Amino acid sequence: MTVQQLADQVLEDRKKAWAKADQKTAILATEQLGPDDEQAVRRIVAEAGYEGEALEEMARQVSLRVVGKVEALADKLPAQGGD
């Protein structure tokens, strides 16, 4: 599985938890995932078959991608027109 696919799985997995307590605000403020979110990332990456050093590296990449997606979804700035 790719980083993108794993990040999408994490976002889907965490949707319900984030609906109860707006964790997205904390993610935007700190630019990193919380402990529960990190656990979800590690679990999903491990379930995809990654182990050892590969698990650590993929979990890091997936975490960064999830943070980036949360930031992108929260972006309220209007798109700039092409010049």
Q: What is the pLDDT of residues 2-19, one digit of tens each?
A: 999 999 999 999 888 777
Residue 83 lies in a domain: no
How many whole angstroms separate alpha carbon 13 and alpha carbon 16? 7
Residue 80 lies in a domain: no
pLDDT of residue 82: 56
Residue 35's nearest CA partner among 14, 58, 55 is: 14
Residue 43 lies in a domain: yes
pLDDT of residue 77: 60
Residue 19 lies in a domain: yes
Rounded to two decimals, the pTM is 0.82
Residue 50 lies in a domain: yes
Q: In one letter, which amino acid is 74?
A: A
Question: What total of structural domains would you count in the chain?
Answer: 1
Tell me which residue range forms the domain holding 31: 3-74
Phi, psi for residue 79 in degrees, rounded to 5: -70, 140
Residue 79 lies in a domain: no
Residue 81 lies in a domain: no
Task: Please give the structure tokens belonging to residue 32.
Answer: 């990193």
Overall average pLDDT of the 31-38 stretch: 90
Residue 28's nearest CA partner among 70, 82, 83 is: 70
- Scanning the structure block, which residue is given the tokens 């990332």? 41
Residue 65 lies in a domain: yes
pLDDT of residue 16: 82
